[in-house]
Amino acid sequence: MVADPAHYGFETRAIHAGQKPDPRTGSVIVPIYQTSTYAQDGVGGTREGDYEYSRTANPTRTALEEALAALEGGRHALAFASGMAAGDAVLRTTLRPGDHVVLGNDVYGGTFRLIDKVLTEWGVDYSVASLSNLDEVRTAMRPETKLVWCESPTNPLLGIADIAALAELAHVGGAKLVVDNTFATPYLQTPLELGADVVVHSTTKYLGGHSDVVGGAVVTDSDELREKLFFLRNTAGAVPGAFDAWLTLRGLKTLAVRMERHCGNAELIAEALSVHPKVERVYYPGLAEHPHHSLAAKQMRRFGGMVSFTLSGGERAALDVAAGTTLFTLAESLGGVESLIEHPGRMTHASVAGSLLQVPDALVRLSVGIEDPHDLLADLRHALDAS
């Protein structure tokens, strides 16, 4: 047997990393340590690594963190109460007044809001660039740029950024590259191996995978950043509860098989939509006509479960389709086993209307679930016919 979990394949790490049977009872599954505090050996007697209070550390959360680090191929992972809490911790541990961030022009709206509405109040400045255009990123960078914040694939237009090239560009400019890996998951892409410094997740999405828990995580190889993140999280308190950590850990175990099915279903749907007469354009990195298809094929294992498309009939048709499906539930969020449909312009991206991040109003976004693909296709065709 190999002792170091890093040598196991992805599926094995997802099920075993950080998840040894409980030493006291043999419980095969990591227990939900539903406790706020821990008995100590003597006054002031806690040793490094012992548990003392669950804001600081909790064994169920530790198991989740070890699993996440093993999946991203990073040395340290920290779990947070939400994806936004994870992103906030990265921003607040790396930026000081006067610093500058470069963001993708279709960055997650919540991340944009945090930087645009909160961090600017603390003297942080930002620029927006198309991250698939390296010249635009180079131009946006300043001497005081400390972070480049990247998503790939992006939301909702499924753009692809060259993570290795961005890492190099950021490093040449004295900045760090953060990759929000929520859409791809470590099953499809591991940004640290491509040169990124920090990976951020909303574990609410594919990692949890069942739309039943909100959570976030940061993964990094840097000991220094890990110390700062640990200190801030313990100080500010944005920790997930034990049950939430446990649900996320349970989700992780099946990530590989779920992602295979998400990808397979999304590929079928993207192809079917791309030949449908009412569809104007399909945004899916797995399609040969996607402008960065070959880059996606190089840095990703497959192309993910998110598909967006515009309707020739404009916003009216897009609203009709979004409201006209039965199996695809009209809802925000993504990454669960069940399929979801939404109209970004009026739903997830309503807050960026009129900004640089505005999205086409004829756009519909799908989070393709793992149901029978024929049922999903029939549902979409029915809604398109009626639109």
Ligand X SMILES: *Cc1c(COP(=O)(O)O)cnc(C)c1O
202 or 265: CB nearest ligand X: 202
- The two tokens of residue 182 are 């929520």
Q: Which residues pair with 78 in a beta bridge?
A: 218
Report the alpha-carbon distance of residue 265 to residue 235 in Å, rounded: 43
54 or 182: CB nearest ligand X: 182
According to the binding rule CB under 6 A, does residue 82 interact with ligand X?
Answer: yes
151 or 197: CB nearest ligand X: 151
Stretch near ligand X under the rule CB under 6 A, chosen from 22-30, 60-68, 79-87, 321-329? 79-87
According to the binding rule CB under 6 A, does residue 155 interact with ligand X?
Answer: yes
| Letter string b/e over residues 117-138, b meaning 16 or more CB atoms within 10 A of that residue's CB | eebeeeebbbbbbbbbebeebe
Closest contact distance (angstroms) between CB of 130 and ligand X is 17
Stretch near ligand X under the rule CB under 6 A, chosen from 177-185, 220-228, 268-276, 320-328? 177-185
108 or 126: CB nearest ligand X: 108
According to the binding rule CB under 6 A, does residue 156 interact with ligand X?
Answer: no
According to the binding rule CB under 6 A, does residue 248 interact with ligand X?
Answer: no
According to the binding rule CB under 6 A, does residue 187 interact with ligand X?
Answer: no
| Residue selected from 58, 202, 367, 387 as contacting ligand X according to rule CB under 6 A | 202
Closest contact distance (angstroms) between CB of 347 and ligand X is 13
Q: Is 221 exposed, middle or buried (0-12, 13-18, 19+ CB in 10 A)?
A: middle
Report the alpha-carbon distance of residue 68 to residue 78 in Å, rounded: 8
Query: Count residues contacting ligand X (CB under 6 A)?
Result: 16
Closest contact distance (angstroms) between CB of 214 and ligand X is 5
Q: Is 250 a catalytic residue?
A: no
| Letter string b/e over residues 187-209, b meaning 16 or more CB atoms within 10 A of that residue's CB | bbbbbbebbbbbbbbbbbbbbbb
Out of 55, 142, 228, 250, which one is annotated catalytic? 55
DSSP labels for 143-177? Answer: TTEEEEEEESS-TTT-----HHHHHHHHHHTT-EE
Q: Is 108 a catalytic residue?
A: yes
Out of 108, 126, 187, 283, which one is annotated catalytic? 108
What number of other Cβ atoms are within 10 A of residue 1's Cβ? 3
Strands, E assignment, the chain: 76-80, 100-104, 125-129, 145-151, 176-180, 198-202, 216-220, 279-283, 306-311, 329-330, 340-342, 363-367
Q: Is 180 a catalytic residue?
A: yes
Give the residue at shortest CB distance from ligand X: 83
206 or 328: CB nearest ligand X: 206
Stretch near ligand X under the rule CB under 6 A, chosen from 80-88, 128-136, 217-225, 310-318? 80-88
- Report the site for ligand X in 207-236 (rule: CB under 6 A): 214, 216
Out of 205, 226, 233, 302, which one is annotated catalytic? 205
Stretch near ligand X under the rule CB under 6 A, chosen from 47-55, 108-116, 275-283, 349-357? 108-116
According to the binding rule CB under 6 A, does residue 182 interact with ligand X?
Answer: yes
Out of 99, 162, 180, 197, which one is annotated catalytic? 180
DSSP 199: E
| Residue selected from 99, 180, 197, 379 as contacting ligand X according to rule CB under 6 A | 180
Specify whether the CB–CB gap between 286 and 303 falls below 8 A: yes
What number of other Cβ atoms are within 10 A of residue 223's Cβ? 10
According to the binding rule CB under 6 A, does residue 110 interact with ligand X?
Answer: yes
DSSP 119: G
216: region left, alpha or beta (phi > 0 left; psi from -120 to 50 alpha): beta
Q: Is 379 a catalytic residue?
A: no
Give 377's contacts (C-beta < 8 A, 6+ positions apart): 268, 269, 272
Q: Is 299 exposed, middle or buried (0-12, 13-18, 19+ CB in 10 A)?
A: buried
Q: Which residues bind ligand X (CB under 6 A)?
A: 82-84, 108, 110-111, 151, 155, 180, 182-183, 202, 204-205, 214, 216
**Catalytically annotated residues:** 55, 108, 180, 205
